[in-house]
Structure 1
Amino acid sequence: MLKIIDKYILRRYLATFSVMLLLFIPIGIVIDVSEKVNRMIEKKVPFGEILLYYVDFTIYFANLLFPIFLFLSVIWFTSKLANNTEIIAILSSGISYKRFLRPYFIGATIVSLFTLIMGFFLVPKASKGFNDFRYQYLKGSSAQSRETNDIFRQISPNEVIYISNYNYLSETGFNFIYEKFEGNVLKERIQANRIKYDKKKKVYKLYNYKKRTIGELDDKLISINEYSKKFNFEPEDLTPVVYIAETMTLGELFDFIDKEKKKGNANINTYLVVLHKKFSLPVSAFILTIIAVSVSSMKRRGGMGVNLAIGICIAFTFVFFDKVFGTLAEKSSIPPVVAVWLPNFVFGILAFYLLRNAKR
Structure 2
Amino acid sequence: MKILDWYILKRYLFTFFVMLLLFIPIGITVHLAEKIGKILENEVPFGEVMLYFYDFTIYFAHLLFPLFLFLSVIWFTSKLANNTEVIAFLSSGVSFSRFLRPYMIGAAIVAALAIALGLYLAPMASKGFNDFNYKYLKSHKSAVDNVNVYRQINDNDYIYVSSFDAAQSLGQNFSLEHFENDKLIYKISATSIRYREQDSSYRLINYVKRTITENKDIIENARRKDTLFSFDLEDLTPVEYIAETLPYGELNRFIKKEEKRGSSYISRYKLVQYRKWSLPVSVFILTIIAVAVSSIKRRGGMGVNLAFGICIAMVFVFFDKIFGVLASQSDFPPLVAVWFPNVLFGILAFYLLYNAKR
TM-score relative to the length of structure 1: 0.93
Judging changes above 3 Å, is the alpha-carbon distance between structure 1 residues 97 and 201 closer, same or farther for their aligned structure 2 residues? closer
Query: By how many angstroms is 1:147 displaced?
Result: 2.5
* Residues 199 and 113 (structure 1), Cα distance of their counterparts in 2 relative to 1, 3 Å cut: closer
- One-letter amino acid matched to 1:127: S
Within the alignment, does 1:220 sit opposite 2:206 as a pair?
no
Code of the residue aligned with 1:95 in structure 2: it is V
1:67 and 2:66 correspond: yes
- Pairwise CA distance, 1:155: 2.4
Between stretches 50-59 and 149-158, larger displacement belongs to: 149-158
Separation (CA, whole Å) in 1 of partners of 2:218 and 2:299: 86
Partner of 1:168: 166
TM-superposed deviation, 1:24: 0.4
Match for residue 327 of structure 2 among 309, 329, 338:
329
Indicate if the aligned counterparts of 1:189 and 1:213 stay in contact, CA closer than 8 A.
Answer: yes
1:308-351 deviations in Å (ceiling 9; x for gaps) = 11111111111111122122222211222121111111111111
SS in structure 2 of the partner of residue 19 of structure 1: helix
**Match of residue 87 from structure 1:** 86
- Does residue 355 (structure 1) correspond to residue 345 (structure 2)? The answer is no
For the residues of structure 2 that align with 1:254 and 1:114, how far apart are their CA atoms? 21
Cα offsets for 1:94-121 (capped at 9, x unmatched): 1111111001100100000011011111
Tell me by how many angstroms 1:65 deviates: 0.6
SS at match of 2:167: coil
Structure 1, 319-328 or 110-119: larger mean CA deviation: 319-328
Matches within 5 A, 1:1-360: 3-140=2-139, 144-199=142-197, 202-222=200-220, 227-360=225-358
Number of residue-to-residue matches in the alignment: 358
- Per-residue CA shift, 1:213-249, capped at 9, x if unaligned? 2212333345666554432222221222211111111
The separation in 2 between residues aligned to 1:154 and 1:243, in whole angstroms, is 20
Structure 2 spans left out of the alignment, 5+ residues: none
Q: 1 CA distance for matches of 2:148 and 2:104?
A: 48
Shift of 1:207: 4.4
RMSD: 1.9
The 1-side partners of 2:265 and 2:188 are apart by 25
Please state whether the residue corresponding to 2:317 is helix, strand or coil. helix
- Taking structure 2 as the reference length, what is the TM-score of the superposition? 0.94
**Cα pair 1:83 1:299 within 8 Å, conserved:** yes
| Equivalent position SS for 1:144 | coil
Q: Deviations over 1:165-218 (max 9, x none)?
A: 212123332332211011221111233343333445644344454433221233
> 1:82, CA displacement in angstroms?
1.1
> CA–CA distance in 2 between the matches of 1:241 and 1:254?
17
Per-residue deviation, 1:7: 0.9
350-359 or 249-258: which moved more? Answer: 249-258
Identity %: 59
Quick one: structure 1 residues 357 and 150, their matched pair in 2 at CA, closer, same or farther if it must change by over 3 Å? Answer: farther
- 1-structure distance, mates of 2:198, 2:356: 71
Shift of the 319–145 alpha-carbon distance from structure 1 to 2, 3 Å rule, reads same
* Native 8 Å contact 1:212 1:220 kept in 2: yes
Report the secondary structure of 2:135's partner residue: helix
**How far apart are the structure 1 equivalents of 2:199 and 2:13?**
59
Supply the distance in 1 between the matched residues of 2:256 and 2:79 (Cα, whole angstroms): 49
